[in-house]
């Protein structure tokens, strides 16, 4: 079986976030894999399905749903749990593709944000390549950080200054990264910013970035943390899911607080 896999960055899920290159890849595909993550995140699968309906021409690719396995054991050994999870997903990909393209062909998968930034799809594709003849094309998309800074109309970095990109887990377990003045935080389901000493920190937070129900809050961390926690919880309850990210700066900021 020979498979060509196109991983297409879809930004935050707005049709305008998919590039013309990504649309062309969808039109070439024979099968589009559609992950389902359970009833509590059914809206995510439905959003992907809406994009497919809008962007795939009539008579084009078959949309092939599959159920994502549940990751277990992360509390004991996070890396081992992730490896097992990726192995399981690769096998499900293989089974789903074989059902629809037993002789191989063109397969596509829409990826939240961009496949290159804190996303595991490429690592799963490496596992698939151990089992079939696979070539992979990555179509870049809008990252969560691009969507965040655009929503707040701010630059990511200060003049001639670095930015450290990390995860909520690392921020929670290790605290503020040494020697960093600007920190971008991804994959934070537990609002790790509330574990930091807030003095002198400024936050730019955003959820559902680029979508009609986008939320943006910024200001001194000590002042806006309760607002972020309240609005985040309300939005999660209202929509059944939430994707958010944020930027923290250590230096005192002249930016004024705003909530949209």
Say how many residues make up the chain. 260
Q: Are residues 43 and 110 in the same domain?
A: yes
Average pLDDT in the 236-254 region?
A: 84
Q: Are residues 45 and 60 in the same domain?
A: yes
Percent of the chain exceeding pLDDT 90 equals 81
Average pLDDT over every residue of 62-69: 94
Q: Which tens digits make up the pLDDT trace of 15-44? A: 888 999 999 999 999 999 999 887 766 777
pLDDT band at 256 (very low <50, low <70, confident <90, very high): very low
Residue whose C-alpha is closest to residue 187's, from 146, 221, 145: 145
Provide the mean pLDDT of the chain: 92
Which residues make beta-bridge pairs with 246? 185, 205
pLDDT in tens, 183-206: 999 999 999 999 999 999 999 999
Q: End of a domain among 117, 139, 161?
A: 139
Predicted structure pTM score: 0.88
- DSSP of 110-123, one letter per residue? EESB-TTSS--HHH
Kindly report the CATH number assigned to the domain that includes residue 36: 3.40.1010.10
pLDDT at 175: 96
Same domain for 75 and 23: yes
Higher pLDDT, 76 or 257: 76
Same domain for 238 and 175?
yes
* Confidence (pLDDT) at 204: 98
Segments forming the whole domain that contains residue 43: 2-139
Between CA 172 and CA 178 the distance in angstroms is 14
Q: 92 and 177 share a domain?
A: no
Q: What is the CATH number of the domain that holds 186?
A: 3.30.950.10
Last residue of a domain, one of 91, 108, 139: 139
68-127, pLDDT tens digit by residue?
Answer: 998 887 778 888 999 999 999 999 999 999 999 999 999 999 999 999 999 999 999 999
Number of domains in the chain: 2
Closest CA to 205 of 229, 238, 174: 229
Structural domain ending residue among the three candidates 112, 139, 166 = 139
Residue 255 has pLDDT above 50, yes or no: no
């Amino acid at each position: 079986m020979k498979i060509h896999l196109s991983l297409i960055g879809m930004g935050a899920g707005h049709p305008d976030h998919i590039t013309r290159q990504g649309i062309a890849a969808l039109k070439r595909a024979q099968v589009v894999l559609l992950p389902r993550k359970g009833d509590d995140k059914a809206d995510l699968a439905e959003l992907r399905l809406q994009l497919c309906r809008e962007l795939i021409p009539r008579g084009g690719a078959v949309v092939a749903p599959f159920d994502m396995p549940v990751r277990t054991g992360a509390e004991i050994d996070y890396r081992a749990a992730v490896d097992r999870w990726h192995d399981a997903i690769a096998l499900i990909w293989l089974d789903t593709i074989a059902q629809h393209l037993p002789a191989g062909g063109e397969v596509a998968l829409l990826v939240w944000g961009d496949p290159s930034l804190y996303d595991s799809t490429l690592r799963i594709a490496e596992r698939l390549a151990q089992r079939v003849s696979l070539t992979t094309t990555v179509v870049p998309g809008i990252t969560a950080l691009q969507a965040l800074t655009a929503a707040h109309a701010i630059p990511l970095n200060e003049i001639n200054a670095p930015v450290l990109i990390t995860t909520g887990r690392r921020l929670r377990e290790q605290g503020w990264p040494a020697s960093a003045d600007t920190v971008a935080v991804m994959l934070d389901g537990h609002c790790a910013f509330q574990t930091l000493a807030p003095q002198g920190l400024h936050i730019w937070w955003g959820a559902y970035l680029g979508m009609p129900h986008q939320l943006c809050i910024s200001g001194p961390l000590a002042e806006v943390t309760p607002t972020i926690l309240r609005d985040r919880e309300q939005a999660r309850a209202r929509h059944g899911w939430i994707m958010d990210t944020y930027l923290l700066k250590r230096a005192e900021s002249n930016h004024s607080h705003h909530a949209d």
